[in-house]
Amino acid sequence: MQELKHWRLEREPAGLAWLIFDKAGESTNTLSAAAMHELGLVLDELEREPPKALVIRSGKSAGFIAGADIEEFTQIGSPADARALVQRGWDMYNRLAAVKYPTLALIRGHCMGGGTELALACRYRVAVDEPGTRIALPEVMLGIVPGWGGMLRLPQIIGPTAALDMMLSGRALDTKRAKRLGFADECVPPRVMDNAARMLATSGRPPRTLPFMQRLMNGPLKGFVASQAKKQVAARARPEHYPAPYAIIDMWANYGGNALAVPADKPTSMDAIAASPTTKNLVRVYYLQERLKGFGKSDGKSGDFAPKHLHVIGAGVMGGDIAAWAALRGLTVTLQDQNIERIAPAIQRAAAAFKKKLRDDTQVRFTLDRLIPDPSGQGARQADVVIEAIFENLEAKQKLFADIERIAKPGAVLATNTSSLRLEDIATALQNPARLVGIHFFNPVAKMPLVEVVEGAASDAVALKQAMAFVRKIDKLPLPVKSAPGFLVNAVLAPYMQEAMRCVDEGIAPEAVDEAALAFGMPLGPIELADTVGLDIAVAAGKELAGEGVVPPKKLLELVAAGHLGRKTGRGFYTYNQGKPQKGAVGTVPAGLAERLVRPLLQAVQRCVEQGVVADAELADAGVIFGTGFAPFTGGPMNYLKAHS
């Protein structure tokens, strides 16, 4: 066998072979054309001299396999290129699945896309039980399909309902769920993983079989399962915007999971997906997300900032939820307010959220132990990061930061979560104004991935880098922005929501306004969004950002005057029942309404770029997509403007 760059084949005297994937020159394993070619050479060798069993594992500390090489994917220039790429993986994994000797994937760390499909082609799978082990088929998030056998094998191994949920959402399994569903045959701690893999690979144990009903759903009941899945997808995504999920359902239900078998003229074919602008734009969004993640990495100059203790001041909805999220991500958090009675509701909300998320009483208890009520504020003395999230009053914030500065550690990050006050005004209370930065979260904290890291006129560059490192530490996406009214996200959302409410003033039904935005590709209509944010907040934001002489929408003012503030009071533009809006029939949506709604948003994004609120158009797109949910299939507002200019 010729010398390999990316794989190592090691044989034990007893006949077991270990195949170690260690991609040369990379910190992460990706399945490039070169790596796949070498895998073929290994299979040739093993065909000549078969082992007793084969264990495939990673040689990287970073994880198992991150999937296909995205760089190669971006170079696809035609449907023929896309088919060739799919054919390569489909044939290789079918070959792996057909070998006579037992095969086992030993999965430690991330296992994504083509890596998950490789594991599916093995007879057995062992998952290493640690937090970093996550298993997913996230292709749909790039506008593509799991074409290397995922659509064929995953439903056969865990059943079609769970498999479709994974493939259509891109959500990852942790190790315990992977074991429960049957994806992993064993879930073991790191210290015994090699022995567990060795024993299972040579055990002769027959592969797991699905229960009878799941086998029916993979067979005679396929059509019913597919129709139900299509209904669920249709509630979230339209085929003209996102063709990939519909293609996954069709390929599984009608073509045995073989993407290459779909006729080229069908809207669910590989040719149609390859030609769709959605695919190109979602790959762009992937790179935008990677760029945001990069802001939280060490530059090697200021040293690594690894915060362990967060102190949050203000236990209202925003402060309490920031504290709960940080505790969930592993930090010790002290939560301060005027008394324990003000802190208690935040702890209760956190306990309910932890129970729903973790589904393990022991883990819930451990996580709650990291969230410490602190009415006297002693935690500010030891904290690595202090975030202020009290009410929007300049004098109160100035006094608070003057007090914090006196007791906080010299290297601690001092941050405000303000959305309406100038950092420069708050910072005047500090002996060293350079210490203050903005760390601006969005509501609901648990769902919104973006956090704006705000640079005031005096903010220190090291403090800003540390703030971004903190944001990544808690698994959010940091967006650097300059201090300006509304920063980026609120500055573009406010005129969009105001325009929507003016449409209602003109007699257009709220349902029609929201439907126009949904048809454009927004995740939520602007009227329902205003109700969700709170109509009192919408009034305040409108006054702050609209400028002198701009009259707020009439209906908005009437509702606020009557105390109808949206979802939180049970009534706003809509009436709410158990938190859900009670909407009437949409009726006719006026022509051009969607374009009218998004025009002020697009103009505001352009202004933010021109004024330097964000460094460039790419970051503006990233911020508006991850901060507002702006139609990802467009590639972002600036990308949309470019495509439609």
Residues with active-site annotation: 419, 440, 452, 490
- Cα(153)–Cα(224) distance, integer angstroms: 19
Indicate the Cα dihedral angle 234, 235, 238, 243, nearest 10°: -50
C-alpha of 347 from chain center: 25
Pair of tokens at residue 552: 């707020």
Q: Which residues contact 394 (CB under 8 A, 6 or more apart)?
A: 421, 425, 426
Write down the number of H helices and E strands in the chain: 27, 19
Closest CA relative to residue 508, chosen from 601, 597, 603: 597
- Cα(352)–Cα(144) distance, integer angstroms: 36
Encode burial over 363-395: b for 16+ CB neighbours within 10 A, e otherwise: ebeebbebbbbbeebebbeebbbbbbbbeeeee
Pair of tokens at residue 92: 């290789």
CA 548-538-624 angle, 5° bins = 95
- Cα(206)–Cα(79) distance, integer angstroms: 40
- The sign of the CA dihedral 427, 430, 436, 439 is negative
- Whole-angstrom CA distances from 68 to 117, 262, 273 are 10, 22, 17
What is the DSSP pairing of strand 103-107 with strand 110-112? unpaired
- Whole-angstrom CA distances from 346 to 272, 291, 319, 364 are 49, 33, 8, 15
DSSP secondary structure letter of residue 13: T
Q: Which residues contact 269 (CB under 8 A, 6 or more apart)?
A: 247, 262, 263
- Does residue 601 contact residue 488 with C-beta atoms inside 8 Å? no
| Identity of residue 427 | A
| Identity of residue 521 | G
- Cα(93)–Cα(204) distance, integer angstroms: 21
- Cα(545)–Cα(529) distance, integer angstroms: 18
- Cα(644)–Cα(39) distance, integer angstroms: 44
Angle of helix 160-169 relative to helix 222-234, nearest 10 degrees, comes to 30
- Cα(385)–Cα(380) distance, integer angstroms: 8
Pair of tokens at residue 60: 């990287």
- Cα(66)–Cα(77) distance, integer angstroms: 23
What phi and psi, each to the nearest 5 degrees, are found at residue 636? 110, 160
Q: Which residue has the tokens 């530490």?
A: 473
- Cα(532)–Cα(581) distance, integer angstroms: 10
